[in-house]
Structure 1
Amino acid sequence: MSKFIITNEFWELFPEAEIAIVVAKGIQNTEAQVADVRKEINELLKQSSKEAEKFLSAGVFSQNKVISVWREAYQQFKTKKGVRCSIEALLKRIDKEIGVSPINPLVDIYNSVSLTYGLPCGGEDIDTFEGDLLLTKANGDEPFLALGDEEASNALPGEIIYKDDAGAVCRCWNWRDGQRTMLTNDTVNAFLIIESVDPSRSEDLKAAVSKLAELTDKYLGGSAEIVHLNKNNREMNL
C-alpha cells in the first residue's frame, strides 16, 4: 500500500503547518452521476464565491490575511517566478468579478469549499500515483507538465512540491496540479487536500475538511475518510 508522507525538510520550514486530507474511494466523478443535482453544485460554487468576498476586506488585495499569510510562506522556499497560492488565484477572480466556472463535479466541490473557508484545496487521482506521495523539497530533477501547458519543465531545487516516483504532482506547494495526476471524469479514488499555515485557523481547517468529505459523499458516493496531519503525525496510508 502506498503512503502520503510529509518529510522533515518540509517541517523544518513550516513547523506549524496543518494538512487535512480526504481520501475518497469508489466515487463517480461524472456529469451523469450529478445530472439531477448539477444545478445544486453550480449554486454551491456561486454562493461560495459570494461568501468569499468576506476575505477581501483590505483596501489592498495582497494585504488581506488569507493572501498575505501565503505570500509570506512562499518566500520561505524557491518558487517559479510570479506564481501564487491556489486560494489567491481563486480570490483574484472574485476580486476582479470574473467568477469561478464549473470544471468537473469534484473540482467544483473543492473549489466551493476553498472559497467558503479561504483555504487552498486541491485534489489528485490516487490511481495515477507511482509509489509514495511526498510533500517535500524538490531535488530539481522532477519532471512536471502543468495543467494547460504543452511543454514539461522540472521543479526547481529547493522548491516545495508534492511528488511521487514519476516526478512532481503539484508544484510550488499548492500553485498548480499536473496533467498526469489530475482529477478527471474517470477518477474513482481521489486524494483531496486542504492546507493551512496559520495556527489561528485550525478550527476553520477542521470545518473545511469536514464539509469537503460531506459534499463529496453526498454528490459522488463512495466513502470519504478524513485524516489530519501535522509535525507530530506526518504520514498516512493511501
Structure 2
Amino acid sequence: MHFAHSPALWRDFPQLVPGVLHTKGLAADVSVEETVRRCYARAGARLADGGPESGLPQIQAWRRAFAAMGLKPTRYRCAAEALLRRFRKEGSLPRVHPVIELCNAVSLAYAIPVGVFDVARINGGLTVRYAEGDERYETFAGAEEHPAPGEVIFADDARRAHARRWTNRQSGRSAVREETGEVLVVAEALHGTAPAEVAELVGTLGEALRTHWGAAPRSAVLTAAAPRFEL
C-alpha cells in the first residue's frame, strides 16, 4: 500500500506540504490526556494572540485553496478551521477514540488539518486526486454519495473516496473504530512556514504514539520530487 498526491494536484498547488505517518499496535483503552492538555494550551494561546481562527495564516492558505476550487470558504471549511471554531466556542472537543482525540488535539495546536484513516478499510493505495465522478463515498450515517467531477478526494484503488473536498469531510468507511489497530495519518498545509511546522507536527504526533502506545511509527514529509509514501 502507498499514499501519494496526484501530479495534477502538485501542479496546481506547488506550495503543498504533506506530512504522513503510519503506525500499528493501537488500542482504544489508552489515555492521551497529558498530550491533549498540552495541545489545548497551545491552541488556546494561538487564538488569544492571533484573534479568530479565520485570520491565522494556516487557515487563510486553505481558504484561498478552497476558493480556487470553487468552494465558498465560509460554507466549506478545512478540518482544522472547523475544529478551531468549535474549540474557541466550547473550550474542548468531544472525547471519542484516543487516536482521534490525539490527532484532533495536534491539529488544533498547529492549525493544520490532520486526517486519520483505518488502513484495514482502504483497498490498495490511497491517492489525493481530482474526482472523475463515479467514485463512491460513504457518509458516517452509511449513505452513499458520488463526488462531483473535479472535486479533490482521497481515493483508493477500489475507487472509494475516503475524504471529500480535500480536507473538509472525511468518510465514515475508514474512520477509526474501537477495533482499529493500524492507521495512516495525513497532515497537509499550504502556508509559507508549512515545511518546518508540518515536520514538527509529525514529530510531535510520532512521539505521542511512542509514549502512549509504545508504537513504532514511520513518517515522512513529502515533496513534489518525492511524493510517495510506502506503508
TM-based fold match above 0.5: yes
Deviation of the 1:21 alpha carbon: 0.7
How far 1:79 sits from its partner (Å)? Answer: 4.6
Q: How does 1:33-182 map to 2 (within 5 A)?
A: 34=30, 38=31, 41-56=32-47, 57-59=49-51, 61-79=53-71, 82-147=75-140, 149-166=141-158, 167-182=160-175
Structure 2 unpaired stretches of 5+: none
Root mean square deviation, CA, Å: 1.9
Q: CA deviation at 1:59?
A: 5.0
CA distance in 2 between counterparts of 1:211 and 1:88 reads 20
Q: Name the CA distance, whole Å, in 1 between partners of 2:40 and 2:215.
A: 27
Letter in 1 for 2:107: S
Deviation per residue, 1:128-173 (Å, 9 max, x gap):
11121101111122111223x3422111211111111231011111
Normalised to the residue count of structure 1, the TM-score between the two structures is 0.88
- Match 1:208 to one of 174, 186, 201: 201
For 1:137 and 1:59, locate their aligned partners in 2 and report how far apart those are by CA, in whole Å.
34
Q: Corresponding residue for 2:11?
A: 12
Which one is further off, 15-24 or 177-186? 177-186
The separation in 2 between residues aligned to 1:78 and 1:130, in whole angstroms, is 29
Q: Deviations over 1:89-139 (max 9, x none)?
A: 111012213521211111111112111112111110112111211011111
Are residues 1:232 and 2:225 paired? yes
Distance between the aligned counterparts of 1:55 and 1:138, measured in 2? 35
Please give the secondary structure, in 1, of the residue aligned with 2:90: coil
CA distance in structure 2 between the aligned counterparts of 1:139 and 1:227, rounded to whole angstroms: 28
User: Number of residues paired by the alignment?
Assistant: 228
Q: Tell me the amino acid that sits aligned with residue 75 of structure 1.
A: A
Sort the Cα spacing of 1:227 and 1:92 in 2 relative to 1 into closer, same or farther, 3 A.
Answer: same
Structure 1: how far apart are the matches of 2:225 and 2:161?
A: 25
TM-score by length of 2: 0.90
Q: Percent identity?
A: 26
The CA deviation at 1:78 is 4.7
Say if 2:58 and 2:189, in contact at 8 Å, map to a contact too: no
Q: Are residues 205 and 59 of structure 1, via their aligned partners in 2, closer, same or farther at CA, if it must alter by over 3 Å?
A: closer
Give the secondary-structure state (helix, strand or coil) at the position aligned to 1:215.
helix
**Mapped partners of 2:148, 2:71: distance in 1:** 7
Q: Is 1:13–1:76's contact at 8 Å kept on the other side of the alignment?
A: no
